[in-house]
Amino acid sequence: MNLTPGNNDFSEAIENDRTHVWHHLSQHKRYETSDPMVVIEGKGMRVWDARGREFLDAVSGGVWTVNVGYGRETIADAVREQLVRLNYFANTAGNVPGAQFAGKLIGKMPGLSRVYLSNSGSEANEKAYKIVRQIAHNKYGGKKHKILYRERDYHGTTITALSSTGQIQRKGQYGPFTPGFVEVPHCLEYRSQYGDCADYGEKAARAIEDVILREGPDTVGAIVLEPITAGGGVITPPEGYWPTVQEICRKYDILLHIDEVVCGVGRTGKWFGYQHYDIQPDIVTMAKGVASGYAAISCTVTTEDVFNEFKSDPADPMSYFRDISTFGGCAAGPAAALENMRIIEDENLLENTTAMGGYLLDRLHMLKERHELIGDVRGKGLFCGVELVKDRASKEPVDESTAQAIVADCMSNGVIIGATNRSFDVYNNTLCLSPALICTKDDLDAIVDAIDNALARVSA
Ligand code: PMP
């Protein structure tokens, strides 16, 4: 079938979609009276749907994934070449793209040394939790099994990944949860819990130490944190936060696990988000941007010290990591990921991300001067959030319907943006922008202009 937008009749696909496909994160009632969107093609920053509509995509595939943009033929070529040579063998053995990718990736992550491959961000995080738990069993007699996570952070969709997620609206209906996960407070300065103070970041980090002391440091094995909270409201960390978190982890012998599923592989202008903050994690997980959605691949990366815990006693059958991910052996993943990294390097996309991210943030700050609805603008690289409030003094968040109306207005004008949902107990009505790392000033102008117009229409 020739998928030229507008030239085909996709009514059968639309009807099959409406009748048989269960969409993610979607209330299907509305498809009784309207068509579901069926996306048929993408090129660069743009996608087309089955009705021939063209969209400028400001969220890289809806969920900050397609970092190098759509329609990359060299990634498709690399994947095809690998598939006909060797599509699969379990990762109990190595394969050539897997080995090459691991070497290249570790070259971007000083202090880390081992890459464990799986398929999704949730799975990568589950591997990390299993690593922490096994170390607790083998080294600490079952103690140090608790894992801290932060209010408003998200770590995935499986029950245990949800157990470590600080967003009640995404987990509330799926309990009971895996025991041993303990929440620490968020660090969003705009919604300061510690008053107006110069050392807000330090105070927010010390709140983690309070939890550790309450739980007992000898029971806590790790803390998992997003470098910049994504779905919980694009929360950039306050000054001084990360060095204090690192210091606390070292003080109590707690592994620092950074979830780079969103920030990883260029999104913030460095290879990894944590690299802005001069810290050294013990475990890093990543997924979405690793192969920009051209293949399913995720990674759990550890230091050699963590890895060495799993070969301490070769005579003990319980000492090695007794874990496997069948599709972690799909060779298409690392083949796509290698080419994805080459593109980022050869096209100077980290530099473009820093430059364009700065431009986007400036334009959003200018937008804030024109629209009372904007309470706060935050971001790093091509990863920005615009928090909407009814009133700047009280900071009362707008109703969810307002953010959704802005998203819908942009969409009807050909620009796809995102928005976090307002939680029951967390204010996070935030517009999200994460365009591909290839974007230009013209693309960003079109995105910001669409939001500008939408804000004007919706507030009127
Ligand atoms: N961690 C973070 C920070 C995420 O944003 C997500 C997905 N939105 C995940 C983990 C889970 O990734 P996946 O959907 O691939 O399981």
CATH code for the domain of 41: 3.90.1150.10
Specify the pLDDT at position 162.
Answer: 97
Is there an atom of ligand 1 within 6 Å of 262 CB? yes
| Domain carrying residue 90 | 74-346
Planar angle of CA 378, 380, 381, nearest 5 degrees = 135
Query: For residue 19, is it within any domain?
Result: yes
Q: What is the 3-state secondary structure (H, E, C) of 401-415?
A: HHHHHHHHHHHHCCE
Question: Could you state, in chain order, the average pLDDT of each consecutive group of 10 residues for the chain (460 residues)?
Answer: 60 94 91 92 97 96 97 98 98 98 98 98 98 96 97 96 93 95 96 89 97 98 98 96 98 98 98 98 98 98 98 86 96 98 98 98 98 97 97 91 93 95 63 98 98 96
Query: For residue 2, is it within any domain?
Result: no
Specify the pLDDT at position 172.
Answer: 87
Residue 134 phi, psi dihedral angles, 5° rounding: -70, -35
Residue 37 phi, psi dihedral angles, 5° rounding: -80, 130
Query: For residue 211, is it within any domain?
Result: yes
- The domain boundary residue, chosen from 324, 346, 368: 346
Cβ atoms of residues 421 and 400 within 8 Å: yes
Please indicate, yes or no, whether residues 353 and 444 belong to a single structural domain of this protein: yes
Q: Read off the DSSP letter of residue 318.
A: T
Distance 156 CA to ligand 1 centre (A): 5
Is there an atom of ligand 1 within 6 Å of 121 CB? yes
Query: For residue 5, is it within any domain?
Result: no
* CA-based radius of gyration for the chain: 22
Specify the pLDDT at position 195.
Answer: 84
Beta strand 298-302 with 114-118: parallel, antiparallel or unpaired?
Answer: antiparallel
Specify the pLDDT at position 7.
Answer: 57
Q: Which CATH number fits the domain that encloses residue 210?
A: 3.40.640.10
Beta strand 283-286 with 298-302: parallel, antiparallel or unpaired?
Answer: antiparallel
Which numbered atom of ligand 1 lies nearest the CA of 156?
Answer: 11
Cis status of the peptide bond prior to 176, with omega within 30 of 0:
yes
CA distances for 306 relative to 114, 256, 303, 408, angstroms: 9, 11, 5, 46
Given ligand 1 and candidates 59, 126, 288, 327, which is best to mutate, with the most ligand atoms within 8 Å of its CB?
288
Which SS3 state, helix, strand or coil, does residue 355 take? helix
Please indicate, yes or no, whether residues 284 and 387 belong to a single structural domain of this protein: no
Cβ atoms of residues 283 and 258 within 8 Å: yes
Please indicate, yes or no, whether residues 424 and 384 belong to a single structural domain of this protein: yes
List all residues 6 or more positions away from 56 whose beta carbon is below 8 Å from its beta carbon: 45, 46, 414, 415, 416, 443, 446, 447, 450
Cβ atoms of residues 224 and 164 within 8 Å: yes
In total, how many domains does the chain have? 2
Is there an atom of ligand 1 within 6 Å of 458 CB? no
Is there an atom of ligand 1 within 6 Å of 418 CB? no
Distance 155 CA to ligand 1 centre (A): 6
Specify the pLDDT at position 193.
Answer: 85
- Distance separating alpha carbons of residues 166 and 185, to the nearest angstrom: 9
- The domain boundary residue, chosen from 313, 346, 379: 346
Please indicate, yes or no, whether residues 51 and 187 belong to a single structural domain of this protein: no
Q: Which residue has the tokens 């790790």?
A: 222
Which SS3 state, helix, strand or coil, does residue 337 take? helix
- The domain boundary residue, chosen from 286, 319, 346: 346
Specify the pLDDT at position 312.
Answer: 81
> For 241, what's the count of Cα atoms within 13 Å in the CB-facing half-sphere?
21
Is there an atom of ligand 1 within 6 Å of 126 CB? no
